[in-house]
Structure 1
Amino acid sequence: MKLNTPRWWYVRGSRHAIVTRTLLKPASWLWAALTARRIARAAPVDPGAVVISVGNLTVGGSGKTPVAREVLRLLRAAGVEAHALSRGYGGRETGPLRVDLAIHTAEDVGDEPLMLALDSPAWIARDRIAGARAAVAAGATTLVLDDAHQNPALKKSLSLIVVDGETRGDEWPFGDGGVFPSGPMREPLKAGLARVDAVIVLLPTDMAEVDPELTAVFGDLPIFIARLTPAGPPPSGPRLGFAGIAKPWKVERSLVAAGCDLVEFAPFPDHAAYREEDLRFLADRAGMLGAGMVTTEKDWVRLPPTWRDRVVNWPVVARFEDEARFADYLTGVR
């Protein structure tokens, strides 16, 4: 079952959520304890390759998959045989399996592995150790793990976390610091940061600089600034937008900031599987408004093939402000 991300998770001092947070605290304590015990008891396996983990501390919405794509691009541009390795969330295949864009769909392998496979060899495996061994056997010398900060199966050479750097008013990447389900954190902030080698703060294009209050949280950890940048201009003419990601409101903001004539926006749950009736409703609504439809690349790959020509795909990419410094940091990992 897919759930909508509560926006109050990310609002500090949210008065209307106090009762809900209080009721969910016992479940949060249990979640945090189970996560800590799983990590403490693990015996990470060395797969015989450099392992770079790109993860986050919150439940979705940080932009880790665009960053993982950029990490892969920079490594491969430097001549490194880097492959992506993902759990394949949302797909029915268990792997180990190399993603083939010609035959696999989001229903098979999940939407994020399909995006990673657009640029680099990508594998999915519920068993990360088996997936890593398959990728290494196929020639990978570096593995880029998408969403593995809380997965201790593999011995990591470098642990990166991606943090959503967009802070507006009381909206904060970590909210009040509550652990799921009373807040967005996968584990307490201090525990998560203890296993981090470097932080990537991802900013939208319309935010001039990172909030110093946010960077202060990371202490002496190296910080790299990246921006989530549209790969091209938004489509012309009136548009009805929709998105099923962890923070759909950020897509709405980004489209407007990029100059899109957005007449209406429809949010869906993260990793939503679009049904025919959903798409017909959106198409009818767009027709009433005299608008075309636009969505994210991550949503577009989940659309049935018969609908892809009717919806504009608006991709975004992560680009580092000091690309040379970050590329040197990556290629120096052994």
Structure 2
Amino acid sequence: MNAPEFWWTSNSTWQSRLLSPLSALYGYFSAKRFGNKPRYKADKPVICIGNFTAGGTGKTPFALALNALLLEAGHKPGFLLRGYGGTNKGPLVVDQCSFAAEEVGDEALLLARRGPTVISADRVAGAKLLEQQDISVIIMDDGFQNPSLHKDFSIVLLDAKTGIGNAKCIPAGPLRMPFEKQLPSVSLLMVIGEGECGIQPKNAAECTGIDMMSAAIRPISADALEGERVLAFAGIGRPEKLFASLREVGADVVEAMSFPDHHYFKKDDARKILKIAEAQDLLPITTTKDYVRLDGREEPAIERLANVVSVLEVEMKISDPEALMNYLKPLLENGKA
């Protein structure tokens, strides 16, 4: 499911008030679990890429950007993630040529293009399997609130446009656990984009002495889309990010279709998209994550959509890559990498 709109409303709503008792329970037990001692400390340094809230903040693009920096510095990173959206719970090494998104999740297929990748619902088992690969450092995509595996450095992403929403825990709001309980475990706060909603949590983090940096998600080679009439569709944490990015590069978003996060497209979805696009002479366009859930499937309608759809490629631009590597240098040189 996509996050409900009332999560991102600063004013109290009847939905958030109604769900507040459940939210309090969720937050209490999440914080209690978070305080558990890790079951395992890996032989390789573990850099966790997380966020305070449910939903997308750009963790996977950031993991890819960090991977590139580590490779450039001579390290051998490997990816560890849950494999959300896939049926296989692992632990297993993901070969992008041998698995479908339905099995291992879309994020795993994207990461596997760039380096050794392991999915596992049990992060400890996944870390042990990844340690057997030719790696020197583990990039953990998500799992900041999962206490089972020791993290040597936690980079938490904050979307400046949405912040921490209404500051309530699931299901009354987007927080995975109370905000103030999460702050002490943050090694570095990475603010993504610009927006007023990020000001309050940034100030709170600054007051606790947490170092901060900034980054932004930028489209790659999108000049050809200027003036193009498009049908944009996405099944990601916040589909409106795609729509906004397209408008920023000058595309005319005539139709915008949102699907649940990690949505596994059915033939009826593909037929509907194709029908609307053809009727209005629109270019269907989606995200890289969505495309990997279409590519390689044999259902005729989905195969046809995969053949005609365009993909808006994006990348995470870190404001000061050298400063980020300086933060990680003690861990990478004096740790175990």
TM-score by structure 1 length? 0.91
The aligned counterpart of 2:46 is 51
Structure 1 residue 212 displacement after superposition: 4.8
Q: Are positions 1:142 and 2:140 aligned together?
A: no
Structure 1 residue 328 displacement after superposition: 2.3
Structure 1 residue 116 displacement after superposition: 1.3
**Residues 292-331 of structure 1: pairs in structure 2 closer than 5 A:** 292-305=283-296, 306=303, 307-331=305-329
Partner amino acid for 1:190? E
The partner residue of 1:183 within 156, 160, 173 is: 173
**Residues 218-237 of structure 1: pairs in structure 2 closer than 5 A:** 218-219=205-206, 220-233=209-222, 235-236=224-225, 237=228
Q: What is the aligned residue count?
A: 321
- Structure-1 separation of matches of 2:185 and 2:313: 31
The partner residue of 1:70 within 65, 73, 77 is: 65
- Structure-2 separation of matches of 1:135 and 1:173: 33
Structure 1 residue 180 displacement after superposition: 0.5
Query: In structure 2, the residue corresponding to 1:298 is in which secondary structure?
Result: helix
The aligned counterpart of 1:31 is 26
Structure 1 residue 11 displacement after superposition: 1.9
Query: In structure 2, the residue corresponding to 1:41 is in which secondary structure?
Result: coil
- Structure-1 separation of matches of 2:5 and 2:63: 25
Query: In structure 1, the residue corresponding to 2:35 is in which secondary structure?
Result: helix
CA deviation vs aligned residue, 1:53-101 (integer Å, no higher than 9, x gap):
1011100121111111111111111111110000111111122211111
Query: In structure 2, the residue corresponding to 1:332 is in which secondary structure?
Result: helix
CA RMSD of aligned residues (A): 1.7
Q: Are positions 1:91 and 2:86 aligned together?
A: yes
The aligned counterpart of 1:202 is 192
The partner residue of 1:6 within 4, 7, 11 is: 4
Structure 1 residue 119 displacement after superposition: 1.6
Moved more, 22-31 or 233-242: 233-242
Structure 1 residue 266 displacement after superposition: 0.5
Structure 1 residue 280 displacement after superposition: 0.5
- Structure-2 separation of matches of 1:149 and 1:313: 29
Moved more, 87-96 or 293-302: 87-96
Identity among equivalent pairs (%): 33
The aligned counterpart of 2:232 is 241
- Structure-1 separation of matches of 2:253 and 2:36: 50
The partner residue of 2:275 within 284, 288, 301 is: 284
Structure 1 residue 33 displacement after superposition: 1.7
Partner amino acid for 2:202? T
**Residues 144-163 of structure 1: pairs in structure 2 closer than 5 A:** 144-163=139-158
Q: In structure 1, list runs of 5 or more residues that go unmatched.
A: 167-171
Structure 1 residue 30 displacement after superposition: 1.6
Q: In structure 2, list runs of 5 or more residues that go unmatched.
A: 297-302
Whether the 8 Å CA contact 1:75–1:331 is kept in 2: the answer is no
Partner amino acid for 2:141? D
- Structure-2 separation of matches of 1:210 and 1:326: 24
Whether the 8 Å CA contact 1:83–1:144 is kept in 2: the answer is yes
CA deviation vs aligned residue, 1:123-165 (integer Å, no higher than 9, x gap):
1011111111111111222111111111111111101101111
Taking a change above 3 Å as real, the CA distance of residues 235 and 296 of structure 1, as seen in their structure-2 partners, is farther
The aligned counterpart of 1:217 is 204
Whether the 8 Å CA contact 1:73–1:120 is kept in 2: the answer is no
Structure 1 residue 213 displacement after superposition: 4.5
Structure 1 residue 109 displacement after superposition: 0.6
TM-score by structure 2 length? 0.91
Structure 1 residue 235 displacement after superposition: 4.9
- Structure-1 separation of matches of 2:135 and 2:148: 18
Taking a change above 3 Å as real, the CA distance of residues 331 and 118 of structure 1, as seen in their structure-2 partners, is farther
The aligned counterpart of 2:76 is 81
